[in-house]
């Protein structure tokens, strides 16, 4: 889940005197200025102060109370948070929250900090999913559950599974699902191998989004594929619990999405990402090991005509597209991230739906 250009920019290191000034600040405004002088960006400085004051979503409060005295214990808490941020700890780990595609997620060091550019993958997935169709969707390497939960929230008729090899990550994802009331099912396994249901049952009930936005993602192709035209979708039932003895997941999925590790093992940016789980970042010597494994194994789990959509590094689009074409995927396309880089590549596994109705292009 790297950002545009895959170039994380950690805060500048601070001198001891600059850090001391944060802890002795006497007012709200003085504290923010001291944090900026120490090397923090203004927005980070403001969010951390609000967190230290127990006002996590009240940024406007800072503007109206800049001259308010700052208690010494609050100043010390703030200084400790600033020290960690200046050491490269993600802001979301310090506040415990990250907004993603209209949902407010809880995150910590057990999972990657979800990046805004990954919303590109969600937007593309929603293009492929008709709003009322009970499609089956699998999110590989779900981490915090960000992608799976965003898809489930936007497409409530879909049946969504999130898979991860890390039990720690699944604990975070399941907690987010329960808190948001979204019925994503969770699986533990390594890509296509040794799947087991994660013990926690899916949540039920409506989700409350943190904010609303217009989700759009322009297609590069002038002839984009239509959303999944599921055979007999009008007759398919809404998600239900599996019958006793039945598999807790479908044999095949209509859509598979993945944001796997894709940094090279020698990527110079890894030092700036040292506080995030390395196994969720590094994809082998060239960064493509996990992308290859996912693309090669997906046909055994994709329904005929189903789509595989992948996030990758800013400079890996051509390699991933060549891989998909070599494996037999059709209609290979890209989507660009917020920085204009080709961040996602996907393709359709050829075939027809079980009833014989083809999944057609426009």
pLDDT digits (tens, 9 = 90+) for 18-42: 677 777 777 888 888 889 988 899 9
Instruction: Give the pLDDT mean for 283-301.
Output: 90
Whether 356 maps to a domain, the answer reads: no
Cite the annotated binding site for substrate by residue number. Answer: 259-262
pLDDT score, position 276: 79
Choosing from 52, 69, 91, the residue where a domain stops is 91
- Full residue range of the structural domain in which residue 49 is found: 4-91
Same domain, 49 and 124: no
Whether 362 maps to a domain, the answer reads: no
Same domain, 80 and 106: no
Show the tokens assigned to 145: 């559950």
Which tops the pLDDT comparison, 285 or 230?
285
Which tops the pLDDT comparison, 58 or 194?
194
- Alpha-helix residue ranges (DSSP H) falling in 65-118: 72-86, 91-95
Rounded to the nearest integer, the mean pLDDT of the chain is 80
Helices 72-86, 16-23: axis angle to 10 degrees equals 150
Show the tokens assigned to 86: 């200046």
Decide: 275 and 160 in contact? Cβ < 8 Å.
no
Residue 149 has pLDDT above 60, yes or no: yes
Same domain, 58 and 117: no
pLDDT in tens, 161-181: 999 999 999 999 999 999 999
pLDDT score, position 152: 98
- For residue 189, give every residue at least 6 positions away whose Cβ sits within 8 Å of its Cβ, in sequence order, or none: 163, 165, 195, 196
Cite the annotated binding site by residue number. Answer: 141-145, 164, 191, 259-262
Rounded (5°) CA angle 310-151-214: 100
pLDDT score, position 316: 92
Residue 286 has pLDDT above 70, yes or no: yes
Cite the annotated binding site for S-adenosyl-L-methionine by residue number. Answer: 141-145, 164, 191, 259
Whether 355 maps to a domain, the answer reads: no
């Amino acid at each position: 889940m790297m950002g545009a250009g895959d170039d994380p920019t950690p805060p500048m290191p601070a001198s001891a005197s600059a850090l001391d000034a944060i802890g002795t600040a006497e007012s709200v405004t003085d504290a923010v200025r001291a944090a900026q002088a120490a090397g923090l960006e203004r927005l980070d400085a403001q969010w951390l102060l609000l967190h230290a004051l127990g006002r996590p979503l009240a940024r406007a409060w800072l503007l109206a109370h800049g001259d308010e005295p700052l208690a010494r214990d609050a100043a010390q808490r703030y200084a400790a948070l600033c020290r960690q941020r200046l050491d490269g700890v993600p802001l979301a780990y310090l506040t415990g929250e990250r907004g993603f595609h209209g949902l407010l997620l809880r995150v910590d060091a057990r999972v990657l900090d979800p990046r805004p550019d990954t919303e590109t993958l969600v937007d593309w997935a929603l293009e492929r999913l008709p709003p009322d169709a009970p499609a089956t969707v699998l999110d590989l390497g779900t981490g915090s559950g960000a992608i799976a939960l965003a898809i489930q929230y936007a497409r409530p008729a879909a049946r969504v599974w999130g898979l991860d090899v890390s039990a720690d990550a699944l604990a975070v994802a399941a907690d987010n699902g329960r808190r948001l009331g979204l019925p994503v099912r969770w699986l533990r396994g390594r890509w296509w191998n040794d799947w087991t249901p994660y013990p926690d049952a899916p949540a039920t009930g409506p989700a409350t989004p943190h904010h609303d936005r217009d989700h759009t993602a322009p297609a590069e192709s002038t002839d984009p594929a239509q959303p999944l035209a599921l055979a007999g979708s009008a007759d398919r039932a809404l998600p239900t619990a599996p019958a006793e003895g039945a598999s807790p997941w479908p044999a095949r999925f209509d859509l598979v999405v993945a944001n796997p590790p894709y940094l090279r093992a020698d990527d110079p940016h890894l030092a700036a990402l040292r506080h995030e789980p390395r196994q969720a970042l590094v994809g082998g010597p060239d960064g493509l090991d996990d992308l290859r494994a996912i693309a090669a194994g997906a046909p055994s789990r994709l329904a005929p005509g189903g789509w595989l959509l992948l996030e990758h590094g800013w400079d890996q689009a051509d390699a991933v597209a060549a891989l998909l074409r070599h494996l037999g995927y059709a209609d290979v396309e890209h989507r660009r991230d917020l920085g204009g880089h080709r961040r996602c590549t996907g393709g359709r596994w050829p075939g027809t739906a079980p009833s014989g109705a083809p999944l057609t292009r426009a």
